[in-house]
Structure formats: structure tokens, C-alpha cells
Amino acid sequence: MLLSSVILTLQRFPSHSTMNISKSGYRVFSANSTTACTELAKKITERLGVDLGKSVVYQESNRETRVDVKESVRGQDIFIIQTIPRDVNTAIMELLVMAYALKTNCAKNIIGVIPYFPYSKQCKMRKRGSIVCKLLASMLAKAGLTHIITMDLHQKEIQGFFSFPVDNLRASPFLLQYIQEEIPDYRNAIIVAKSPSAAKRAQSYAERLRLGLAVMHGEAQCSESDMADGRHSPPPMSSGRTTSGHPGLELPLMMAKEKPPITVVGDVGGRIAIIVDDIIDDVEDFVAAAEILKERGAYKIYIMATHGLLSAEAPRLIEESAIDEVVVTNTVPHEVQKLQCPKIKTVDVSMILAEAIRRIHNGESMAYLFRNITVDD
């Protein structure tokens, strides 16, 4: 009799684990309260059919970042959307502080949705510098993030810097769709790689669009080129000293590296030239490439990139250049730049970000989001 009453009581009151499972849900927060940065977050939540989480992110008078979460997150999957405006370091602190606040408020999982991952260009050792991208990955893990959704990392090897899963989505399906639907006579186009390092990405676009490929070679030295770093090891020898006593220091004389003038491998005459890249920031190289392509006979020039940082004088330079259109996604806020330059067009990628959030929360495979995606995208 006593045993039956205990069983009846347990049936009326489910176990703690069952209660947690039934109540488990997810919330989507924005790590920045400014209108420009919350625009993408609002588009994602509209597609998911949920409300944007209630929180306040602001800078105090001494420029310290403060985050106030206005609702319970206990036992839930929390997705933090952080788009990176021009003030990159403040955006990083907002993300770190919010992640730590959610961690201390007992969130079950904290997933960062960072469409453009900052410091991604600093992923290699240069001179006496450091690999800042790896440092940022460690900071995010320490703050409490357990997963990251991003898009078109500058180098795919960056995923190895993290101690938790990273889903590196691709924007190429949306950019390819734009080419097919918005560029008249795109069948007469040719895909152009601005440098040999971008040839694989350009080849991937060309193969899927069934178009030709051209590669530009030779340019002004870029920030990532191998340049003399000013170190002397061993130090230069004075005229009165010789190295005969130190045969180990006699290194072979290396010929200095010199880039040839810009050349185009491939025929662009009478064609639409479409330059593809992952990031468009300082546009001087793109403007110079457009001038060369015009000289070689291209009658229209498009720039396609995932992340439109468009720093400094980029809008003015684009407007005054031979470039006909710059197409970027909304991974980075650039509404101000669009007002300054009508040549800049935007492709919305909130659909794939929303679907990634839904699949991660439901424990579904992400393979569907990588259909027909090549390694070189």
C-alpha cells in the first residue's frame, strides 16, 4: 500500500531531469544595443518566430562596458548575435561581458553568432607580432562560449584555434544567386581573382557558374606580403671583422623578392569582370584592379565579397572608380557607407544564420547548409 502511494506521487510530480527537458528552450540576444547592429539580429529572430531577448548593453561614462540581462536564462540554449561595427574592440568586450553574464546566470549552452569574426587577418605570425586571432579564441572560451557560428573565415584553419565547435557557414550560394538574378547577361562574364592567393575561391565560383577564369598577378606590396622586418641576426659585421672564425654564420645570399607589374592571365576583353573575395576593407587594391581590367577591355566590373568592412575613404573611392557595383552581405553593418555610395549593394544572409540556430538547438545535422559547397569557397 505504501509502495503504490509512492509510485502515484512520483507519477504526479515528474523528476527534475524531466522538468528541465520540458522547460528547456532557447533565447536569442543581441550583444549590442545600437540600431545598426541589432538590425541583423531582428531579421534572424523574425525568421525564427521568436522575440529578441531582453537585455541592455551600454558604455558607462568611463567607457566600461556593462550588460544587464532582463530575463531568466537558466537551463536554456542562448544565442548571442554580435555584428562587428567600426569600433571592433568595444564589440569584442560587449560579447565577452554578455557571455560571462549568461554563464554566471546558469545558461545551459552559450553560442556566439559572429558573422564576421574580428582579427581574422591576424591569424599568422608576422615579424615580431602575435597571432591575435588565437588569443581572441581563448578569451571567448574563457568567457563561457561553448559554440560559434560564423561565416567565411579569412582562413579556414582558424577553426583549429578554438577548443569548442565552430560552424563556418558560406555566403557563396547567396552571392551566386545574386550574379544569376541581378547581373544582366552574366553568361558573358568572367570570374577574376585579384591575386593568385584568391584563385581557388574564384575557380569555385567559375565552375559553378560555368564561366571562364582570369587571375591577376603582380601588384603593389600588400600588408600580408613578406617584407624586410629590420632585424639583423647576426648583427652586421664591421669592416675590420670577418666571419672566418664563425663558419656557422655564413648564410647563403638570398635574392630579394620583387613583384612584376600587374598582369592579367586570361582574356577579359568585351566581358563582364566579376572579382570575388572574402573581405573588402581598404579598397585601393580593388580600384587598381578595376583600372587594369578596364584597360584590358572589360566593359563592366563587379566586386563580390562576403564582408563589407569598407573602412576609411572606401565609399568615396568606389564612387569615383571604374567599379560599377560592389556587392556584400549584411554580416557587417554598412548602412552609412551605402548612403555615401549608391554602388554598394547588400545581400541578406539572415536566412542561413537563422536555420543554423534552429538546427543547433534541435540537435539536427548541419550538413544541409553545406550542400554543393566546396572546400575552396
Q: State yes or no: pLDDT of 7 exceeds 50.
A: no
pLDDT single digits (tens) 290-316: 999 999 999 999 999 999 999 889 999
The Cα 306–Cα 329 span in angstroms is: 5
Task: Output the nine-digit C-alpha cell for 299.
Answer: 566593359
Separation CA 87–CA 70 (nearest Å): 25
> pLDDT-derived band of residue 247, with 50, 70 and 90 as boundaries?
low
Q: Is the pLDDT assigned to residue 248 strictly greater than 80? A: no
The residues with which 216 forms a beta bridge, in sequence order, are 264
> Is the pLDDT at 36 greater than 50, yes or no?
yes
Q: What is the mean pLDDT of residues 243-268?
A: 73
pLDDT at 53 over 90: yes
| Strand boundaries in 32-156, DSSP class E | 55-59, 65-69, 77-81, 109-114, 147-151
Q: Is residue 162 over pLDDT 60?
A: yes
What's the mean pLDDT when you consider all of the chain? 86
pLDDT value at residue 236: 53
User: What is residue 250's predicted lDDT score, i.e. its pLDDT?
Assistant: 73
pLDDT at 17: 36
pLDDT digits (tens, 9 = 90+) for 341-371: 999 999 999 999 999 999 999 999 999 999 8
352, three cell numbers:
542561413
Given a cut of 60, whether residue 239 has pLDDT beyond it is no
Give the per-residue pLDDT at 253: 72
Q: Which of 83-87, 155-159, 187-191 has the highest mean pLDDT?
A: 187-191
- Average pLDDT on 129-158 reads 94
Look at 92-101, 119-128, 173-182, 202-211 and tell me which has the smallest mean pLDDT: 119-128
Quick one: which H or E segment has residue 27?
strand 26-30
Tell whether the model's pLDDT for residue 24 goes beyond 70: no
Question: CA 150: distance to chain centroid?
Answer: 6
Distance CA 274, CA 56 (A): 42
pLDDT at 263: 86
Say what the pTM is: 0.84
Would you state the pLDDT for residue 64? Answer: 93
Q: How confident is the model at residue 237 (pLDDT cuts 50, 70, 90)?
A: low
pLDDT tens, position by position, 58-90:
999 999 999 999 999 999 999 999 998 878 999
The three-class DSSP label of residue 350 is: helix
